[in-house]
């Protein structure tokens, strides 16, 4: 995050890597490593770059220095580096640092909101038998990621998600597991930093289609937006303003077409009750 925003500051000033390198009396390759996140930066060098880029306000400068200090903090997931792919580590890092997450998930409850049983069923993918070591690691990480919703430093992650009705009806793990998941959504929707909406089947055609996405927004002084697209084998991250603006527009359309947060909570509760009745009928039958 620090490197990407330093690059943006430099480009906004229409400066080259060589200009920044001259300011620090180093090679352009060092600036490139800093901007790509492959190398840290000393506070003295950061102050010199902020001078070059015209960042003068004391509060804004302190924000940049805080980013640099935070970049040296040991992250909880680093002990798992040898067991997780790099793009997944990037995702965990995003959620640990961002201030806000918005997104659309048409077919499955997002990992940030999954119960242990639901997450286990998703990770197992319909296969029978116990989880493998890799799958257990993924489950552990998924549950750990959810702590951002209740963290105290920094402020809890603000989450605004639109869920497709299909995600609430697919009986992942069976009816009992799904009911528990729906009740979990009802509970988490009560958090002041969480907004959930449901796009019902009756909404008809909508922008975005069946492809899920998440948009992450970093706190000041960054102002950086990142769109996450997931596929079966990897994650793609979009940072270009045109891309983030497009997905922002799609999200605005989806939330406008979806049920209100209160009506969405009522639907979640109703679906949970339906599952309870069906479960009881199946047991008595």
pLDDT at 213: 95
Closest CA to 88 of 125, 134, 39, 119: 134
**What is the rounded distance in angstroms from the CA atom of residue 12 to the CA atom of residue 6?**
10
Instruction: Please measure the distance between the N-terminal and C-terminal CA atoms of the chain and give it in whole angstroms.
Output: 57
269 close to 261: Cβ distance less than 8 angstroms: no
Please, what is the Cα angle at 19 between 66 and 28, to 5 degrees? Answer: 80
**pTM for this structure?**
0.76
pLDDT at 36: 81
pLDDT at 84: 63
Sequential pLDDT tens for the chain (285 residues): 788 888 888 988 999 999 999 999 999 999 998 888 778 888 889 899 999 999 888 888 888 887 777 666 555 555 565 666 666 666 676 677 788 999 999 999 999 999 999 999 999 988 888 899 888 988 988 898 899 999 887 789 999 999 999 999 999 999 999 999 999 999 999 999 999 999 999 999 988 888 999 999 887 766 678 898 987 667 788 888 899 999 999 999 999 999 999 999 999 999 999 999 876 655 555
**What is the rounded distance in angstroms from the CA atom of residue 201 to the CA atom of residue 208?**
15
pLDDT at 64: 82
Tokens 């999954």 correspond to 114
pLDDT at 246: 95
Closest CA to 218 of 209, 226, 210: 226
pLDDT at 109: 97
How much of the chain is helix, strand and coil, in % rounded to 5?
55, 10, 30
pLDDT at 79: 56
């Amino acid at each position: 995050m620090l490197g990407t925003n330093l690059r943006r500051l430099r480009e906004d000033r229409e400066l080259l890597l060589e200009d920044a390198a001259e300011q620090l009396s180093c090679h352009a390759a060092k600036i490139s490593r800093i901007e790509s996140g492959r190398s840290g930066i000393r506070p003295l060098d950061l102050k010199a770059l902020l001078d070059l880029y015209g960042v003068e306000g004391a509060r804004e400068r302190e924000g940049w220095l805080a980013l640099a200090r935070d970049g040296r903090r040991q992250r909880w997931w680093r002990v798992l580096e040898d067991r997780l792919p790099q793009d997944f580590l990037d995702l965990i890092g995003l959620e640990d640092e961002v201030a806000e997450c918005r997104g659309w998930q048409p077919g499955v409850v997002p990992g940030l909101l999954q119960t242990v049983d639901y997450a286990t069923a998703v990770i197992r993918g319909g296969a029978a038998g116990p989880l493998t070591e890799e799958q257990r690691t993924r489950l552990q990480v998924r549950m750990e990621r959810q702590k951002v919703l209740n963290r105290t430093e920094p402020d809890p992650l603000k989450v605004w998600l639109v869920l497709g009705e299909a995600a609430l009806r697919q009986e992942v793990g069976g009816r009992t597991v799904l009911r528990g998941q729906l009740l979990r959504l009802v509970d988490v929707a009560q958090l002041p930093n969480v907004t959930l909406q449901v796009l019902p089947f009756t909404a008809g055609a909508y922008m975005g289609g069946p492809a899920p996405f998440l948009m992450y927004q970093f706190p000041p002084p960054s102002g950086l937006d990142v769109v996450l697209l997931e596929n079966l084998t990897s994650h793609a991250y979009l940072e270009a303003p045109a891309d983030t603006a497009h997905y922002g527009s799609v999200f605005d359309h989806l939330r406008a077409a979806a049920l209100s947060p209160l009506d969405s909570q009522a639907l979640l509760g109703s679906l949970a009750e339906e599952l309870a009745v069906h479960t009881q009928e199946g047991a008595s039958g």
